[in-house]
Amino acid sequence: MRKGVKTLNYPNLRAEMARTGVSTTRLAESTGLSLATAYRRINEGNFSFEEAERIRNELFPECTVDYLFDGGEGA
């Protein structure tokens, strides 16, 4: 990876959120996280497995956990 270039964490999760209109607020509500924590976990890439399963089950049941939480290029 080039120096100074940040890789997006969870590009598939971000894409599905955009495609389905799921906001970070809705994601936070579904996991019981604060909005700030939800933003941080999306950006830093550190959801627990239980949180990932809850997000998938409640918000994106048509997707797999592996797909949604793939780290993307360079992860």
CA distance 5 to 52: 26
Query: Pick the residue with more confidence: 67 or 45?
Result: 67
pLDDT, position 70: 87
**Is 35 contained in some domain?**
yes
CATH classification at residue 47: 1.10.260
Give me the number of domains the chain comprises: 1
Give domain status of residue 75, yes or no. Answer: no
Any domain includes 36: yes
Contact (CB, 8 A) for 42 and 9: yes
Q: Cα(68)–Cα(42) distance, rounded to whole angstroms?
A: 11
CB 75 within 8 A of CB 64: no
User: What is the span of the domain harbouring residue 28?
Assistant: 11-68
Determine, yes or no, domain membership for 33.
Answer: yes
Within-domain flag for 1: no
Provide the 8-state DSSP code for 47: -
pLDDT beyond 80 at 57: yes
- For 1-52, how does the pLDDT look when each residue is reduced to its tens digit (9 = 90+)? 445 555 668 999 999 999 999 999 999 999 999 999 999 999 988 899 999 9
> Comparing C-alpha atoms, which of 46, 49, 42 is closest to residue 11?
42
pTM for the whole thing?
0.81
